[in-house]
Amino acid sequence: MKIALVFFSPTGSTALVAEHIRDYLLDCRAVPTLIDITPMAYRGESLDMAPYDALILGVPVHSWRAPRVVRNWISGLCGDGKPCSTFFTYGGFQIHPAHHSTRTLLENAGFRLVSSAEFPASHTFNLGGWKAMENRPDESDFAVAKEYAEKTSCRFSGEDRNLPGPFEPTTHTEAFLDEIEMFRFRILSSLPARKAKSCSLCGICQEICPTGAFDAQRGAASADMCIACLGCLLRCPEQAITIPDLSESFAFKLKAEGMTIDQMQTKESRIYF
Ligand SMILES: Cc1cc2nc3c(=O)[nH]c(=O)nc-3n(C[C@H](O)[C@H](O)[C@H](O)COP(=O)(O)O)c2cc1C
C-alpha cells in the first residue's frame, strides 16, 4: 500500500505529527512517502496520484479551515476514486468546520474519505504572547497518531470497509468562513515585518514564505498574499521579524469562545473513524 503522506506546516507542528504517522505506517507495512507542500515551489504542480494507492493530507487549521493555499492546491488534484484521509493540528480553538470543508474539497477532487483526525498543537500565535496548547503535541497525542495510522491503513487496504461516522455538525457556510478568515487581521493588527536593524539580508524569510508574500529587501509582507502563518518570524535566524504583542487578544479570544485556559488544556487528540 503506497501512501502519499502530504503535509503543509509553516511552523513545524503538523510536520512533527506527520513524521510520527509516517513511522507508525511503516510499522503497519505500508509504504508512506512524506511530501512537504509548505514551500510554494512544491505546490506549483499538482501531485500525480498515479504512483500511490492512497492519500493522507495533514494541515494546520487556519481560521477554522485548511489554509487557503492548501484549499487551492486540493482543487487541482485528481483522486480517481482512491481512498484518502485528513488530519489537522490546531491551537485549542475551533476546528470542526475544517473536517467538513476539507472533506468536501477532497471528494470534489475525486477522493473517498475514510478517516480524519485532529491533534492539539502549540498555537502559532503563542509566538506573539498567547498561551494556547503550549507543549503539545505530546506523548498522549502521538499515542492517538499511532492508533490513527493503524486504523487508517486497514481502511486503505480494504481490510476494514467501513466509512467514518459523522463529524460534529456545523452550520457554517463557506462564505461565513471566508469572513472568519479575515478576522485574523483584527487580531494581528499588523502583519509580520522587520523591525530590528540587525538584519544581514540572508533572505531566508523570502525563501521559506509559503505564499511568496514576504519581500526580504522591504522587510515586509504583501497584505494580499500573507496568510499570517508566522513561518518567517519563527525561521529568521536574527529574530529581526516581529509581530505586535498579542497577549491581550488571547484573553479576548478565550472569552469569545466561552472557554477558560484550563478547559482548553483538557482537549485531546481525536480520531473520526
Ligand atoms: C492564521 C492562523 C489561524 C489559525 N486559526 C486557528 C483556528 O481557527 N483554530 C485553532 O484552534 N487554531 C488555529 N491556529 C493555530 C494553528 O492551527 C496551530 O498552531 C497549528 O498547529 C500550526 O501548525 P504548523 O506548526 O504546522 O504551522 C491558527 C494559526 C494561524 C497562523
CA angle 3/4/9 to nearest 5° reads 135
Euclidean distance between CA atoms 23 and 10, whole angstroms: 21
pLDDT of residue 214: 97
The alpha carbon of 61 and the centre of ligand 1 are apart by a number of angstroms equal to 5
Contact call for residues 253 and 264 (beta carbons, < 8 A): no
* Cis amide leading into 120 (omega within 30): no
pLDDT over 70 (residue 67): yes
The pLDDT of 241-248, averaged and rounded, is 94
> Could you read off the pLDDT of 13-38 as tens digits, one per residue?
999 999 999 999 999 999 999 999 99
How far from chain centre, in Å, is Cα 155? 23
Confidence of residue 197 (pLDDT cuts 50, 70, 90): confident
CA angle 52/121/83 to nearest 5° reads 20
Residue with cell 503535541: 137
> Could you read off the pLDDT of 69-118 as tens digits, one per residue?
999 999 999 999 999 999 999 999 999 999 999 999 999 999 999 999 99
Euclidean distance between CA atoms 217 and 219, whole angstroms: 5
Determine if ligand 1 sits within 6 Å of the CB of residue 187. no
Determine if ligand 1 sits within 6 Å of the CB of residue 38. no
The alpha carbon of 99 and the centre of ligand 1 are apart by a number of angstroms equal to 14
> Could you read off the pLDDT of 136-149 as tens digits, one per residue?
999 999 999 999 99
The pLDDT of 111-136, averaged and rounded, is 97
- Which residue owns the Cα nearest ligand 1 atom 4? 62
pLDDT over 70 (residue 47): yes
Per-residue 3-state assignment (H helix, E strand, C coil) for the chain: CEEEEEECCCCCHHHHHHHHHHHHHHHCCCEEEEEECCCHHHHCCCCCCCCCCEEEEEEECECCECCHHHHHHHCCCCCCCCEEEEEEEECCCCCHHHHHHHHHHHHHCCCEEEEEEEEECCCHHHHHCCCCCCCCCCHHHHHHHHHHHHHHHHHHHCCCCCCCCCCCCCCCCHHHHHHHHHHHHHHCCCCCEECCCCCCCCCHHHHHCCCCCEECCCCEECCCCCCCCCHHHHHCCCCCEECCCCHHHHHHHHHHCCCCHHHHHCCCCEEEC
Lowest mean pLDDT among 113-127, 141-155, 170-184: 170-184
The grid coordinates of residue 83 equal: 481512498
Determine if ligand 1 sits within 6 Å of the CB of residue 123. yes
Q: Higher pLDDT residue, 180 or 1? A: 1
Determine if ligand 1 sits within 6 Å of the CB of residue 94. yes
Determine if ligand 1 sits within 6 Å of the CB of residue 249. no
Which of 65, 90, 119, 187 gets mutated to test ligand 1 (max ligand atoms within 8 A of its CB)?
Answer: 90
Determine if ligand 1 sits within 6 Å of the CB of residue 37. no
pLDDT over 70 (residue 185): no
pLDDT over 80 (residue 186): no
Q: Higher pLDDT residue, 243 or 188? A: 243
Q: Higher pLDDT residue, 180 or 72? A: 72
Euclidean distance between CA atoms 47 and 109, whole angstroms: 12
Lowest mean pLDDT among 53-67, 157-171, 197-211, 247-261: 157-171
